[in-house]
Chains A and B, each alone.
Chain A
């Protein structure tokens, strides 16, 4: 199956998962020209939310991509409250689910720093450009430094265009 990040994010929304789009995909939504092969989201790590997430991806063969032998994602009442992060590979793309964002904080803090973006007839919560820059500065990997250069240019232009 082809990598289909839009389908993946759509599934999460349809299943009612509480999440905020962060990382590279958030940068692309804000206007960055980079490409990314995964979706990074910050989500609520409650059993209820994780069961919704599981329902959204279960027929895409989700596996734990960072664990040896890539075990299949299994979610049940015994383990649903044990996860802090989930790094998944599915038939339609990689999905990284984080409980918190470096430089910003936990899901509640991330929600406070999110904006609503209309995509394909739905509203998605996306990390704001300011928070994304803050997070990427905090991570400080080479790819984040490149992202920050673009995001700062976008931010300056948008800010001044708004003031007109």
Chain B
């Protein structure tokens, strides 16, 4: 998987730029394999997890 992603990063200059600017491009490439619905569902899970941690920290 890493080799496949490295090929893509090499192929697309904007991906290289993104990596140089600190973007986790492996995560980005993983995300692009998903449907918009799957992306939103995963975002929802991440958001609710952040909230749980935040609420626990506030208590």
Contact = CB atoms under 8 A, between A and B. Distances in A.
A111 to B, nearest CB: 19
Contacts of B12: 153, 156-157, 160
Contacts, number: 83
27 contacts: A2-B51, A3-B48, A3-B51, A25-B40, A29-B36, A29-B39, A31-B28, A31-B31, A31-B39, A32-B28, A32-B31, A33-B27, A35-B43, A35-B50, A36-B43, A36-B47, A120-B37, A126-B36, A149-B17, A150-B28, A153-B14, A154-B28, A155-B14, A156-B14, A157-B12, A160-B11, A160-B12
A157 B32 contact: yes
Contacts of A3: 47-48, 51
A124 B47 CA distance: 21
Dominant secondary structure of chain A at its interface with chain B: helix
Nearest to B20: A149
